[in-house]
Each structure stands twice: as C-alpha cells, then as structure tokens.
Amino acid sequence: MTRMNEPLSRKGEEGGQIEKGAMLRTQFVLILFLTVIFFLNFIARIILSPLIPTIEKDVGISHGAAGSFFLLITTGYFISLVGSGFVSSRISHRLTIIVSTIAVGLVLLSTCLTTTAWGIGMTMFALGLATGIYLPSGIATITNLINPRQWGKALAIHELAPNLGFVMAPITAEALMIWFPWRGVMAVIGLASILIGVFFIVSGRGGEMKGEKPNFGSIRSILTKPSFWVMTALFSLGISSSVGVYSMLPLYLVTDHEILRVHANTLVALSRISTLITVFLGGWAADRFGATRTLTVVFILTGITTILLGLANTSWINLIIILQPLVAVCFFPIGFAILSAIAPPQIRNLAVSLTIPVGFMVGAGLAPTCIGILGDTGHFSLGFVILGASILLGSILLKFVTLRDYEGKPL
C-alpha cells in the first residue's frame, strides 16, 4: 500500500514496474486541443452565473429558483457522467468528445427558443446531459498517453480550461450583452462549440481507444474501496469551493452588497485571472511534495477564505474575492491525478464517471441551490460560512486516502 504523502510521480511503482506513457512535450498539441474543447464545455455550464441577475428580472423568478437551474444542469451532468462509459465503450473516446462538443452547441442554440422558466430549466437539464460525457473521455485520453510522472503537469494544462472559463464567462457575458440579450450570449457560445467540434473531426487526433463499459465487476472493484468514497467527498467539497461559490457570487454581490451587476461580474472575472498560474503551482506541488501535503494546505486555506466571503463587509469583500479562488482551483489537477492513480488504466474513465457526478451534484447543484434558498430568507452570507466550514473538514478526510499498485491489477 502506498501512502498519499509520497509524490505522485512515484505512484504505480512496485517491483521496478512503472506504467509507460509518452512525455508531455510529445503530446502537447493534443492536450491543448482538448483544453480548448473543455473550455467551451465548461463555459457553457457556468455562463448562466453572470446572466442570472438579468434572467431573474426577465423571467420573474426568485433566488432559490435561479439556483435550481444549476441543480438541473448538474442533474443532467450526473446522469450523463454515470452513463458515459456506455457511450465511449461503443464509439471510442474520440467520438464521444466530438458528440459532446456538437451537442452542447445545439442545446445552447435551443435556448433562443425558450420564453419561460420551465423551458429554461429543460434546456439546462439537456445541457448537463450534453456536457457530461466529455470529461471521462478527456481525462482517459490524456492519462493513457502521458507518463504518470507528468500527470500533474498535463492535467494542470487541461485544468486551464475551467479556470480560463471562470475568467471569460463574466467578461464574455457583459461584452455580448452590449449587442445581444442573454439568449444571444448562449447562442454565440453554442456556435463556437459546434465549430470546434467540426474542427476536431477534421484535425483532432487521439482517443481512438474505447472506454470500459460499466459492468458489475468493474463497478464493484471501485465502489468497494474506501479511497473511492473519500475522493467522492473531496471532489464534492472541491467543486463546491470553486463552481458552487462562483455560481452564486455575482448574485450575492448584487443582492447583499449592492454592487452593480457589471461591476460584480468584472470583479469575479478579475479574481480568476491569477488562478491560471496557481493551477500550475498545484500540479507542480503535487508532483514535488505529494498530494496529501498539498491538498491539506489547499483545503485549509480555501475553507478559511470561503468563510470570510460570508463574514467580510463590503469594504473587505473585494480582497476576499481575489484570494478565495487562488487556492480553491489547486484542488483539481491534484484531485484528478489521485483519482486516475487509484484506478487501473482500463477502468480509469469509469472511476471518473462514478466520482464526478456526485461531486458536481453536491458542489455545483445542491450548494448553489442551498445558498440561494438562504438568500431568500435574508441569510445569503450564512451559506458561504457553512460551506467554508465544510471545506475545512476536507483536510481531515485526506488522512483516509491511500493508493495501491494499479499496474494491471484491480483496485
């Protein structure tokens, strides 16, 4: 058994055996291509956040109802992720990536036809279904090509997508709303997604292997391991600290701190620029110092800064908004590297498709909904305090994560 306080570059090694894989530089173009696809996949799911204040006024809904849109996205995402193995096992990871990318574009275009809260909710559910099948295939494609010694760096590049998405979503929304209503913003992103999907058909490479179809034996080998359940809880907290906070932050600033919508979105966007650097530091630190040491620091600092989001007054809130995501985003390259390392290569996509749905359901669905409901009762700030306290507990859960040799053996 290998403890997680050793660097990830040494994991998977026993008796001199190390899983083979290409060096990062030889697959750099492919990783960048997947990063662009992941960026559009991610921004499609979070563009709702900067648009929410406008949608609330246009459709006439409460904070709780607005938060439920995120729950509908994550419900569809949950179902799609769980079933992604059935898709990739039939059509390969490459075709799964293409189907997801084009389907995302078509769903976003369909929002132009919606005029009611119910219609928006259904398109958000469909958006979750379309986006969910990408991630297991994307992660499996990268980790099957790259040597485990460089997973931290490779996955950190891939994680540029959501971090850049956090920056660009509010900027894109505000820029496009100069010329279009909020539905037009959705349509522009939808067209971009379709175009990159077509481009990947023509020029993209990699991912020709098929995924593992979910079956009782594969699922049982994962579900019976305590580390899987610990990682599921950690991903729930990690996603809550990043996507969950981001989803409701503009509405919180507009409602409780009386900041203008354009200023709130600009502030949230600027706060995410530095994460483009810190996400690499997180991947580097995991490779250098070990995952447990790095994630312990990440969870402690993220928990404290999330609590301060709820406690800080308007004069201090700007500083806290900048500090909170700096450490929160470091979770993801480390988390995906650990998740890949606890599963043998042939079921790595299955490990992702079982862990991430619950993480997103809790972190990107239930967390924003609960914060929105507290906002309706006049306790918006309390939601961030409770969330921050929960994130602090993640540093304790890390003590229960262990790895075994995964070179050709079941978990």
pLDDT above 80 for 344? no
pLDDT, tens only, 64-114: 777 788 888 888 988 887 777 778 777 888 888 899 999 999 999 998 888
Name which residue leads in pLDDT, 344 or 140: 140
Cα separations in angstroms, 219 against 105, 216, 351: 32, 5, 8
**Of all residues in the chain, what percent carry a pLDDT higher than 70?**
84
Split at pLDDT 50, 70, 90, the class of 213 is: low
pLDDT, tens only, 132-181: 888 888 887 777 777 666 666 777 788 788 878 888 888 888 889 889 88
Name which residue leads in pLDDT, 28 or 131: 131
- Could you tell me the two tokens for 100? 């997801």
pLDDT recorded at residue 405: 37
pLDDT recorded at residue 206: 59
Closest to 289 (Cα-Cα) out of 49, 83, 62, 10: 10
pLDDT recorded at residue 102: 94
- Could you tell me the two tokens for 186? 């959705």
Average pLDDT along the chain: 80
Closest to 269 (Cα-Cα) out of 49, 34, 69: 49
pLDDT above 90 for 193? yes
Closest to 111 (Cα-Cα) out of 167, 22, 184: 184
Name which residue leads in pLDDT, 72 or 400: 72
- Helix locations, 291-366, DSSP H: 291-311, 314-328, 331-341, 348-360
Name which residue leads in pLDDT, 109 or 220: 109
Name which residue leads in pLDDT, 152 or 43: 43
